Amino acid sequence: MTLENISCNKSFGGWHKQYRHDSSTLGCTMRFAIFLPPQASEQQPVPVLYWLSGLTCTDENFMQKAGAQRLAAELGMAIVAPDTSPRGEDVADDAAYDLGQGAGFYLNATQAPWARHYRMYDYVVQELPALIEAHFPVSQRRALAGHSMGGHGALTIGLREAARYCSLSAFSPISHPVACPWGKKAFTAYLGEAPQHWREHDASLLMREASQGLPTLVDQGLDDSFLTEQLMPEQLELAAQHSGYPLTLRRHAGYDHSYYFIASFIEDHLRFHARHLGLTG
Ligand SMILES: N[C@@H](CCC(=O)N[C@@H](CSC=O)C(=O)NCC(=O)O)C(=O)O
């Protein structure tokens, strides 16, 4: 598998780099970003936090706006940020911001015209970590986090693939997509109209049935314009209470849906993951 390096910037003693590669899972060329802390070496492979971004994002939003590099460098944690969908002229798309390119919803589509390329679940779970672990000085200790659509991705993937991760976190996740407009629209297009095929992509439904769980931190701003109609964190909370899932859900007065909110609390998420990745006590 060939990786093409397209940018390289020193940051807090480590390196922020972007790469392009041909994805066999998605059938297109993909871009991702990686932050490697100064500690990373073949002798000392470091654990990795995978960050899944939200609607309209690329690999760049988190890396440029969240302000995670200083602490990741201190903790000795790599961060990988993939794109949010397959990309390219021959990849199906939609004019709306919440479907198609930039809106992959971290699932494997089953419906035409999406099924050919939209396989972000397999890309995030299998292809990307295999690529990262083969080419960079990182260990197989992984954590998963994300924002909004990416929070939905982090929670649903972590709930279904618990053996692959040490911890999960999310900012403002789409917590109950089977019941919100973003989720219903995307799931109808990608998975078809039958809601029984949607269940395994709904964090609240998965959490409700979970028999064991990963330590999970969720932060939600109370001035988020998407809170009531799209995000529904209370459904996640009810599900965790039902199954005894180890969820910590925090609500923050005055914060909205933006990266200003993420930047305000990213330190807590990195320290939370560092504990569960074995970097700190
Ligand atoms: N109405 C906006 C919607 C796009 C938006 O708010 N995107 C969020 C994620 S929303 C859920 O997944 C985001 O992270 N944007 C990028 C950023 O850098 O802030 C629109 O039309 O764009």
Closest ligand 1 atom number to CA of residue 149: 12
Residue nearest to atom 5 of ligand 1 (CA): 55
Q: Is the pLDDT of residue 11 over 90?
A: yes
Look at residues 196, 176, 195 and name the one whose alpha carbon lies nearest to residue 237: 176
Closest ligand 1 atom number to CA of residue 54: 12
Catalytic residues: 148, 224, 257
Residue nearest to atom 9 of ligand 1 (CA): 54
Report the distance separating Cα 221 and Cα 210, nearest Å: 26
Per-residue confidence (pLDDT) for residue 235, from 0 to 100: 98
Ligand 1 cavity residues, CB under 6 Å: 54-57, 61, 65, 97, 147-149, 257-259
Cβ atoms 245, 207 nearer than 8 A: yes
Residue nearest to atom 1 of ligand 1 (CA): 97
Q: How far is the CA of 198 from the centre of ligand 1 (A)?
A: 23
Q: Is the pLDDT of residue 138 over 80?
A: yes
Q: Is the pLDDT of residue 225 over 90?
A: yes
Q: How far is the CA of 261 from the centre of ligand 1 (A)?
A: 13
Q: How far is the CA of 56 from the centre of ligand 1 (A)?
A: 6
108-123: per-residue pLDDT in tens?
Answer: 999 999 999 999 999 9
Per-residue confidence (pLDDT) for residue 117, from 0 to 100: 98
Q: How far is the CA of 174 from the centre of ligand 1 (A)?
A: 13
CB atoms within 10 A of CB 254: 8
Closest ligand 1 atom number to CA of residue 150: 12
> What are the beta bridge partners of residue 169?
145, 217
Give the model's confidence band at 212: pLDDT under 50 very low, under 70 low, under 90 confident, else very high. Answer: confident
Say how many residues make up the chain: 281
Exposed / middle / buried, residue 8 (Cβ in 10 Å: 0-12, 13-18, 19+): exposed
pTM of this structure: 0.98
Q: What percent of the chain has pLDDT over 70?
A: 100
Average pLDDT over residues 218-239: 98
Residue nearest to atom 22 of ligand 1 (CA): 56
Q: Is the pLDDT of residue 50 over 80?
A: yes
| Ligand 1, pocket-test mutation among 56, 171, 227, most atoms within 8 A of CB | 56
Give the model's confidence band at 216: pLDDT under 50 very low, under 70 low, under 90 confident, else very high. Answer: very high
The mean pLDDT of the chain is: 98
Q: How do beta strands 167-171 and 78-82 pair?
A: unpaired
Q: Is the pLDDT of residue 1 over 80?
A: no
119-126: long-range pairs with CB below 8 Å, 24+: 119/25, 119/26, 119/86, 120/26, 120/84, 120/85, 120/86, 120/153, 121/157, 122/25, 123/23, 123/25, 123/26, 123/30, 123/82, 124/50, 124/52, 124/82, 124/153, 124/157, 125/157, 125/161, 125/164, 126/25
Residue nearest to atom 20 of ligand 1 (CA): 97
Closest ligand 1 atom number to CA of residue 151: 12
Cβ atoms 241, 272 nearer than 8 A: no
144-181: per-residue pLDDT in tens?
Answer: 999 999 999 999 999 999 999 999 999 999 999 999 99
11-19: long-range pairs with CB below 8 Å, 24+: 11/35, 11/69, 11/73, 12/37, 12/38, 12/69, 12/70, 12/72, 12/73, 12/74, 13/37, 13/38, 13/73, 14/38, 14/40, 14/69, 14/72, 14/73, 16/63, 16/69, 18/59, 18/60
Query: Residue for token digits 């001035």?
Result: 223
80-95: per-residue pLDDT in tens?
Answer: 999 999 999 999 999 9
Q: What percent of the chain has pLDDT over 90?
A: 98
94-106: per-residue pLDDT in tens?
Answer: 999 999 999 999 9
Per-residue confidence (pLDDT) for residue 71, from 0 to 100: 98
